[in-house]
Homo-oligomer: A and B are copies of this chain.
Amino acid sequence: MSKLTLKAAVALIDGALAEAARQKCRPLTVSVLDDGGHVKAVHRQDGSEFLRPRIAEAKAAGALGMGRSTRKMGEQAMQHLPFFAGLVGASDGRIFATAGGVAFTDSVGEVLGAVGVSGDTSDRDEACAFAGIAAAGFKVAPDS
């Protein structure tokens, strides 16, 4: 059974959205997946567009499935466009090479899951992801 609890996932979302309020972000969607890439909790704020849950989930799933943040993937993607075009297909669209998808670990470094945030600029999306991970007491997973 996944070690990520619903309570922790909701705390992570609440922490991300509290940071969004501080930064006066556009309406966001935050998706939290367990370590196998399956949905644990999703919240879509009022005004957040209806594709946002798909984007947020794809960011989180991509970070898990490739073992690195979607920010790092985005930097790599511009140098390796065919690789990332292929990855979109091979993952059935569950990858998004734009900052805002971040895997997280417990205190001893075991990956528990990932969060994806979508709705504002990718930099601000990612800042909210980091804030949520900290609020839940987790750590950002290192890139592979």
Residues of A within 8 A of B (CB): 1-2, 5-6, 10, 26, 34-47, 49-51, 53-55, 57-58, 62, 64-67, 73-74, 77-78, 80-98, 110-111, 122, 144
Q: Binding site of A, secondary structure by majority: helix, strand, loop or mixed?
A: mixed
Cβ of A131 to closest chain B Cβ, rounded Å? 18
- Contact A90 B86, beta carbon cutoff 8 Å: no
Q: A41-B43, A49-B65, A83-B98 are in contact. List 5 more A-B contacts (CB 8 A).
A: A6-B45, A35-B36, A49-B64, A50-B65, A51-B66
Cβ of A77 to closest chain B Cβ, rounded Å? 4
* Stoichiometry, copies per complex: 4
- Contact B49 A144, beta carbon cutoff 8 Å: yes
How far apart are the CA atoms of A35 and B37 in the complex, in Å?
Answer: 11
- Contact B89 A67, beta carbon cutoff 8 Å: no
Note all chain B residues with C-beta closer than 8 A to A64: 49-50
Give 19 CB contacts A-B under 8 Å: A6-B45, A39-B53, A49-B65, A49-B144, A54-B90, A55-B86, A55-B90, A74-B82, A77-B81, A77-B82, A83-B97, A85-B97, A86-B88, A86-B93, A86-B96, A86-B98, A89-B93, A89-B94, A89-B95
